[in-house]
Structure 1
Amino acid sequence: MRALKYHGAWNVALEEVPDLHASGPDDVVVDIKFCGICGTDLGIVSGSYPIAVPGVTLGHEATGVVAECGAAVTNVKVGDRVVINPTPYCGRCRMCRTQRINHCVNKMGTESGVSYDGAFADRFLTTSEFVHVIPDHVSLQAAALTEPLSCVVSGVRKIQPPTMAAHTYVFGAGPLGLLYAWALSLKGLASAVIETSPERLAFARSRLPVGAAAYASLAEARSGHFNDPDAPLDVVVDTTSGLLEELYPLMACGGTFMSIGLKEKEFTIDGMHLADRSLSVIGSIDSLHGSFLEAFHLITSGRVPAERLVSHVMPLSDFADGLATLGCDIENKSMTTTRSASCKVLFDIASAGSSE
């Protein structure tokens, strides 16, 4: 079987590895059909997020078909279409018992595709607790966005707007930015999504929930979305991880600033204003207690039309092109602007053809 292996910054390769089989009673082996490229993958490959274990198989946003089951598995069977929760946890430690399962102390590192072999591969080995049967009316492509949506659900849970009429801004129209716009809309918040890339902006504009809209700048969003050139910032979701210092002075009293990016950057803010203006500055990137199943429900019920956010589907053999579509240029070892109107890029693992 094939697997996309990480060996260091800018050093990834599609390799032949031994086939995976169910050996334990609770094992489930999945033939992977689709696996999405995450911003975490871009950071790992480029070296800006040096957390992956060298030699690991990348990829963690996956769906597929059950190929083998251990003798004790009862919730799935061979042939079932499933989505994979890539975040293992023990369910017994203090972190798990206090609903922080992604920070389980009894696992090594973080999630599959980072600390454990992931799903940019023909097969993936997991256990029955971490696979869920996809209803017939839901596509494998749509369900592949369950894990990123679960991270968004965790973040939206933390946001407590000062008013249901909160001026809400999402910076960045990548997959997480658009998923935040959808999840926030279910909380009654109509977001102004801000994206500086003309191509991504054009893609986003037709894929937002009713009430949300996309703009090229904060100034345009304030005037166009809130009819006020000085509209305050009640709720901000920053998917770029670089805007806190710039936007902090613009936050309304009682406002919330959420950073969800994973780029290293130091900030200086006025601590007196933090208390005096009742501000909240929080971070969120993980799937936490129950968020994976909640995200799965939002997709399978159609409340979040995840498949509309898929911009490209490519065979795994074209992994370099897939990464380059999102600005991660392996050949030149550099991060660049995106090549096209990209959003969620999926690898079609079973395909041997050319890029779609």
Structure 2
Amino acid sequence: MKALVLQPDRTLRLVHRPRPRVTAPDDVVVRVVQTGFCGTDRGVLLGKFPAVPGVVMGHEAVGEVVEVGAGVTTLAPGDRVVANPTLYCGLCRWCRRGALNFCLHKAGNEIGIDRDGAFAEHLRLEERFLHRLPDGMSYDRAVLVEPLACVMNNLAAGRLRTGDEVVVLGGGPIGVLVALLADHAGARARLAEPDPYRRAAARTYFAGIPGSAVTVTEPDLVAARSAALVVDTVGPLLERACEIADDAGRIVVMGFHERATATLRPLDLLRRGLSVIGAGDYNSHIFVRAVELARDLPLEGIVSHHVRLDDFADALDTLGIAPGAAAPYSGMKVVITTGGGR
């Protein structure tokens, strides 16, 4: 099969790999139809997040079951599925407490990071990490289920309340999803994005949703102490988020950025009653809820480009991934396709 493999110099190369086969009773092999290009994938290629050279990248996968192990009971060939790439063992002390997101055996099991992922024509996963799509749900909507689960986890950690003033820093696909869910929950959401393309794309998206009250603005226009909840979907904006948060405000650090640092004065946190929150990976129990919630949300409108696996360089250009520096964006959610419907 064809697959996109991370190279030691943090570039991608299209190679041929053996197609995965069923080797265990609970194995399922999926023909990948499309895989979303995540901000984490972009961060890996730009040196902002670690990954193991030689790994097949990609984790936001949807597709069709083609082969199942002898012990599989919930899926059959032909079923349309979405992958939950946040794996867990189920047996360690954290898993036994129900905190699946803190599983002690993640090393070697991070899909697209240190275990082969979904920028490929086929993917093998254990049955429990694959969820059948609701009838009629398009692949374009389903490919946003995994990012939706991430957002649900972070907004729950941030204790989102109806009527909250919410500022979302970063207007990429994750930022748009945060604003969408905040709006859906009855909060007043403002989305702050410096990139002109993404700012315009976000405005167009929310303008097409009946009843949406989300406003999209430039970051410099967001006033200090103007939000009960601030979500940094980029990663290096903690100091700015603290400025924007009102007294007794909550700040959720959501973006993955390995090199980001911040300087905070503990006395400011104390006097202002600020809560700085790291939500971590989502607990996989959220994933089922994300599949159901996706029925009611126009997620497919966030997909801006479909790029064939062979033409992956076009995806990198669209996402501003250039050698040595990031170029301007010209897309929102870019999905890598291997054939099939949307």
TM-score, structure 1 length as denominator? 0.89
| CA apart distance, 1:186 | 3.1
Say if 2:260 is the partner of 1:265. Answer: yes
Matching residue of 1:225: none
Say if 2:311 is the partner of 1:318. Answer: yes
| C-alpha contact 2:79 2:132 (8 A) present in aligned 1 | yes
Distance of 1:218 and 1:168 partners within structure 2: 16
Q: 1:200 aligns with which of 198, 201, 210?
A: 198
Distance of 1:288 and 1:237 partners within structure 2: 19
Tell me the alpha carbon deviations over residues 156-176 of structure 1, each in whole angstroms, 9 at most, x when there is no partner.
Answer: 111125x64322111111010
Matching residue of 2:60: 61
Matching residue of 2:325: 334
Say if 2:236 is the partner of 1:237. Answer: no
Distance of 1:215 and 1:249 partners within structure 2: 17
Structure 2 unmatched ranges of 5 or more? none
Letter in 2 for 1:113: G
Tell me the alpha carbon deviations over residues 83-105 of structure 1, each in whole angstroms, 9 at most, x when there is no partner.
Answer: 11112111222222334323211
Distance of 2:137 and 2:37 partners within structure 1: 20
| CA apart distance, 1:253 | 1.2
| CA apart distance, 1:110 | 5.1
Matching residue of 1:246: 240
Matching residue of 1:227: none
Say if 2:124 is the partner of 1:125. Answer: yes
| CA apart distance, 1:10 | 3.0
Sort the Cα spacing of 1:250 and 1:193 in 2 relative to 1 into closer, same or farther, 3 A. closer
Q: Over the residues paired in the alignment, what is the CA RMSD in angstroms?
A: 1.8
Distance of 1:13 and 1:246 partners within structure 2: 37
| C-alpha contact 1:33 1:64 (8 A) present in aligned 2 | yes
More divergent stretch after superposition (92-101 vs 233-242): 92-101
TM-score, structure 2 length as denominator? 0.92
Matching residue of 1:36: 36
Matching residue of 1:181: 179
Q: How many residues align?
A: 335
| C-alpha contact 1:153 1:294 (8 A) present in aligned 2 | no
| C-alpha contact 1:95 1:101 (8 A) present in aligned 2 | yes
Identity of aligned residues (%): 37
Partner of 2:7, secondary structure, is strand
| CA apart distance, 1:259 | 1.6
Distance of 2:74 and 2:87 partners within structure 1: 17
